[in-house]
Amino acid sequence: MNKAWKAVFVLSAFIAAAQCLNCRQCPLNLFGTCLFGSDITCNNSTESCYRGEAKFNATGTISLQISGCLDSDLCGQTVTGSFLGAGFTSSFQCCTTNLCNGATSVQLSFTVALCAAILSSLWGLWEM
């Protein structure tokens, strides 16, 4: 009977590892659009998908948004710190279903195409 319990425990550990959460990762969110985003699988079952926001205290209007996987202990927390002398406050909101933390990201090829279109229109103005 002891071997049966060990087998059940090992099997459940493998199932838990296979059931890790899929989240959207966004290292750079600019004006509400995720650049360089991708879907990732969290490393372990103690992680949740999250959306985070860092607000700089000096300006109050500049904020950065990121998303990805985060240890569940940090969910709902607010963290303060400083970066290059500027104070900031970060908050993390979590969810626990696959891809629950954001919409599909804009792919780099779209960004490159948009930049090329803008540059070509500006080039046309310089030619006049």
CATH architecture of the region 2-127: Ribbon (2.10)
Q: Burial level of 91, CB count in 10 A (0-12/13-18/19+)?
A: middle
Q: What is the predicted pLDDT for the residue at 24?
A: 94
Q: What is the reported pTM?
A: 0.60
- Locate 15 and state its tokens: 């199932």
- CA distance from start to end of the chain: 87
Helix (H, G, I), strand (E, B) or coil at 124: helix
Q: What is the pLDDT of residues 51-100, one digit of tens each?
A: 998 888 776 677 788 999 999 999 999 999 988 888 889 999 999 999 99
Distance of CA 112 to the CA centre of its chain: 21
